[in-house]
């Protein structure tokens, strides 16, 4: 499977960008990689939680 890339432009204040740079640097990452990884993790967490909820509904767990 070949995955293409697209561009997403964000406008943020200086303080937020500096915080992102700091967090990314602690992990040896670029700001872009850090933001993408964070979004992917958040997306996974949301999909995982939805799957857990569906499983609980299926088995009648409250």
pLDDT by residue (tens digit) across 22-41? 999 999 999 999 999 998 98
Segment 33-57 shows an average pLDDT of 89
Q: Taking the complete model, does pTM exceed 0.85, yes or no?
A: no
For residue 60, name the pLDDT band (cuts at 50, 70, 90): confident
Q: How many domains, in total, are found in the chain?
A: 1
**DSSP class per residue in the chain:** -------------HHHHHHHHHHHHHTT--HHHHHHHHHHHHHHHHHHHHHHHHHHHHHT--
Averaged over 38-46, what is the pLDDT?
88
Query: Would 18 be classed as within a structural domain?
Result: no
In a domain, 38, yes or no: yes
Does residue 61 sit within a domain? yes
User: Which range of residues forms the domain containing residue 60?
Assistant: 34-62
In a domain, 50, yes or no: yes
Q: Is residue 1 part of a domain?
A: no
């Amino acid at each position: 499977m070949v995955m293409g890339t697209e561009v997403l432009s964000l406008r943020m204040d200086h303080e937020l960008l500096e915080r992102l740079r700091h967090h990314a640097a602690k992990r040896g990452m670029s700001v872009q990689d850090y933001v993408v990884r964070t979004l992917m993790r958040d997306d996974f967490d949301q999909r995982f939680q939805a799957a857990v909820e569906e499983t609980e509904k299926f088995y009648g767990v409250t």
